[in-house]
Structure 1
Amino acid sequence: MTGAVRLPSRRSRPLTPTARVRRLRRRITLLFALTSAVGLVAMAAWAVRGDDVRWRDQLDRTMSADTNWALGLLETDEDGRLDPEVLLDTAGTACPPLHVLSVPSDAARDARRTAPADLVVEHAPREACLTVDSTAVRGAAAAAVNADEERSLDGRTATGEPVRLFALPFYPPEAEADARPQGALVTVADTAPQQADHRRFAWRVTGGCALLVGLSALVGHLLSGRAVRPALDALDRQESFLADAAHDLRTPAASLRTLAETALRGETDSTDVHRRTLRLAERMGSLVDGLLTRARLMSGTAVLAVEPLRLDQLVEAVVEDAPADGHRVTVRAQKAVVVADPDLVRRAVANLVGNALVHGHAPGAPAQVEVTVAADGAATAVAVEDAGPGLPPEVAGALFDRFRSGSRSTGLGLSIAAWVAHAHGGSLTAGPGRRGGARFVLRLPNGDRPSAED
């Protein structure tokens, strides 16, 4: 029994260098965003916590001032019992609610701790604006008595509204320094407005934090993009070089193979085979040199080998070397001298002429190509016009993209010609011709030495 061959899963396939660089960019962006998020979340938590403490402290100070003022109105009778009459006559205790609780006996006062149930309510408002369970009031008073200092805590009313309870211990008249408190005053304040403000503040801080995290992620994405751009450019140049090499070497390699098969069959003279093989080898060598030169120029490690060049003579030589195959190419050239790299310009013109011979005619009909060289202001223009079906609209906008294909497949040759024009500070344009076909115009500047930094 033979086992089935298991194909590698999509995830197990090795990533391309470009995909690895892009993955690195995503990781840098994520790391930048996470680092910013940690810092912003910590600052947001600190700000929210600080706001919560701030409004509670502010409310406690207000309640402490009111309770101390009320404590000054609390009196005791001759027997040492609390007498809240002066307090009731001078200040209302219903809103905010004010409770007076006392420790019931000397034995309870001498105990180490006072339980909430041991406290006696000396006064409680009858119609308080905030109704709080007596257990919470007794608990706040017991906490203040046992701690021998003011205490505050959060609670809720009978209807569930949030409140703040503040307890202030008080002492008997002429008490000794180490005497325990006689009781405590407990007041209650509504905290719903403060908590609502605090929630709004927390939401604003949270929203601002999320916005800043998103902004930091965007900034990190842009910065990481700038960081990995040289690597992506280098990979793109490498892929471009390999594609150009395959494009330019495919035709001579096929011709060499055909020539070798013909020689093996004995259908041609060996001397002619050797001569044609030598020409193909020389052509392939020049193509390799040109590709390497372009790769060095694109990487910035070399400059254009520019020199004064008779452009009209170069165009005529390119047309003479073009394969006829029944096609007709006419040249009308004026004398023109430009400063350019001869090898690169020759390749650009050859690509334009070759493109017109391949695509500039109807099926089965010979191509009619017209090449003109003429001065065009500060530049010299080489126009290649055919009598074919013209440029379809779907490829006109991206005609010089590498590997662009359509009803008139332009391949890589036009993109190479466009790059040569750009490297010399010129341009390559395409449009309709006078005979209904396509017209390509290569413009090269006159005189000054071009810059090849791009």
Structure 2
Amino acid sequence: MRRPAGGRGARALTPTERVRRLRRRTTALFALTSAVGLVAMAAFAVRSDDARWRDQLDRTMDGDTSWAIGLLETGEDGRLDTNALVETMGTGCPPLSVLSAAPSAAGTGDPRLVVEHAPARPCLSVPAADVRAVAAAAVRAGDAAAFDRRATDGEPVRLFAMPFFAPDAGEGDPPQGAVVTMTATSDQAADHRRLFWLVTAGCALLVAVSAAVGHLLSGRAVRPALSVLGQQEAFLADAAHDLRTPAASLRTLAETALRGETDSTDVLKRTLRLAEGMGRLVDGLLTRARLMSGTATLAREPLRLDQLVEAVVAETPAEGHRVTVRAEESVVDADPDLVRRAVANLLGNALAHGHLPGAPAEVRIGVGRDGSVTVEDAGPGLPPEVAGALFERFRSGAGSTGLGLSIASWVAHAHGGTLTADRGDLGGARFVLRLPAAP
């Protein structure tokens, strides 16, 4: 027996959960993309700063070594003379060391270097092996060389070596030696570390902000889908709730007719009433779904509201109830079919609930010049438990689907009007539908 994918006990996600999971993944992808871009720019900025401060130090030390090379002299015996260098400029700070390449080793492999001059009391001291290493690199390359090392006291330093050539050297001749200088890099390194942590913190903050913005944008993007899914689930719940009882009643009637336990004429009459009721339910469900989804377009036109209300009252079977209409001439800018349905729902609600058990209903309907329709009954009034959510589905009361008032409220709001409920003068409920008057 195969287990469902995703592990033991895995369940299929609902459409709403899949949309929310898509939102989370979109947010994560947005944040990851931003993080990759920010990290790349941060790395470029840090590396550029690191190269910049080293280049600045190298330029400064290049000037020092070039000046020192200009003060070197070569005796008649070919030996270096550093007296002019020592007498002209102090070689202790920045430390200046002069190393010559032995003739037997110059230009062949690693040069054998001889220290011609080293400062007696340098402001920075590094191991002699480091000085020889940077000088050897400059002699081998025939160009400046620079290393990052540590002084004897642990302070970071930058070593710089510039090769020099004999006065009579021709093109292609090896260097005669190299001048080495150094400088402390503690301040530059500290500034670089501060920049690194500042950029790191800035990147983290920007990634967090981008994640929040991505979550907000993805939420706005999936909001219509979630709204549609919610409307679909509400419609399915309404349909299942409202059609379950009449469908069960039809099945019971069919089973009774098959057993021959009742008169077939009575069964057909009851079946016809149930079918008409189911038709009204389906029509109401579809109307409410179209209103909620915004697919029901309003065919606005100047409408005589008083005449429409009188027509609705005339078409509604009273069945022994008393309905009084007091209408003033009123013209509104509205959709006739939707307004007719809203008024019919309000009247039907008053006839169904606006009386005590066994007593006829007394309903008063008023139409005002301001585009208002007032439906008032003499029933028990609004139950406190449903008064706060009266226009939600399944809230009208016992024996009702709860769609009538919900549809009437949606019609009012679709036209830019309102539907309110309170206690009337007859002691029952009073509903006031207000629609925008025509210009």
TM norm. shorter chain > 0.5: yes
Q: Deviations over 1:279-329 (max 9, x none)?
A: 2212211322333344345445543577755325536866937xx9xxxx8
**Structure 2, unaligned stretches of length 5 or more?**
none
Asked if structure 2 preserves the Cα contact closer than 8 Å seen for 1:356 and 1:384, the reply is no
CA distance in 2, matches of 1:90, 1:40: 52
**Corresponding residue number in structure 1 for 2:266:** 272
Inter-CA distance 58–431: structure 2 relative to 1 (3 Å threshold): farther
Asked if structure 2 preserves the Cα contact closer than 8 Å seen for 1:352 and 1:413, the reply is yes
**Corresponding residue number in structure 2 for 1:47:** 45
Q: State the one-letter code of the partner of 2:27.
A: T
**Corresponding residue number in structure 1 for 2:123:** 129
Give the superposition deviation at 1:111.
2.8
TM-score by length of 1: 0.77
CA distance in 2, matches of 1:145, 1:284: 101
**Corresponding residue number in structure 2 for 1:391:** 384
More deviation in 72-81 or 218-227?
Answer: 218-227
CA distance in 2, matches of 1:419, 1:87: 98
**Corresponding residue number in structure 2 for 1:113:** 110
Give the superposition deviation at 1:262.
7.2
Residue 97 (structure 1) aligned with residue 95 (structure 2):
yes
Q: State the one-letter code of the partner of 1:345.
A: A
Correspondence for 1:18 among 16, 19, 22: 16
Give the superposition deviation at 1:334.
1.9
More deviation in 333-342 or 55-64?
Answer: 333-342
Give the superposition deviation at 1:402.
4.9
List aligned pairs for 1:281-430, cutoff 5 A. 281-304=275-298, 310-311=308-309, 314=312, 320=318, 333-335=325-327, 339=334, 340-341=336-337, 344-346=341-343, 348-349=345-346, 352-353=349-350, 372-375=364-367, 378-384=370-376, 387=380, 391=384, 396=388, 400-402=391-393, 414-430=405-421
Q: Deviations over 1:62-115 (max 9, x none)?
A: 110111112212233443333322222222222222222222x3212253321x
CA distance in 2, matches of 1:345, 1:25: 38
More deviation in 306-315 or 195-204?
Answer: 306-315
**Corresponding residue number in structure 1 for 2:175:** 181
Q: State the one-letter code of the partner of 1:382.
A: T
Q: State the one-letter code of the partner of 1:221.
A: H
Structure 2 counterpart SS, 1:178: coil
Q: Deviations over 1:166-195 (max 9, x none)?
A: 001112232233322222111111112222
Asked if structure 1 preserves the Cα contact closer than 8 Å seen for 2:346 and 2:404, the reply is no
C-alpha RMSD of the superposition: 4.1
Give the superposition deviation at 1:404.
7.5
More deviation in 27-36 or 150-159?
Answer: 27-36
Give the superposition deviation at 1:163.
1.3
Q: State the one-letter code of the partner of 1:84.
A: T
Correspondence for 1:245 among 239, 246, 271: 239
**Structure 1, unaligned stretches of length 5 or more?**
449-454
Asked if structure 2 preserves the Cα contact closer than 8 Å seen for 1:297 and 1:304, the reply is no
Inter-CA distance 248–447: structure 2 relative to 1 (3 Å threshold): farther
Give the superposition deviation at 1:151.
0.3
TM-score by length of 2: 0.80
**Corresponding residue number in structure 2 for 1:452:** none
Asked if structure 2 preserves the Cα contact closer than 8 Å seen for 1:318 and 1:349, the reply is no
List aligned pairs for 1:16-95, cutoff 5 A. 16-95=14-93
**Corresponding residue number in structure 1 for 2:435:** 444
More deviation in 292-301 or 26-35?
Answer: 292-301
Inter-CA distance 191–249: structure 2 relative to 1 (3 Å threshold): same
Identity level (%): 60
Give the superposition deviation at 1:245.
2.4
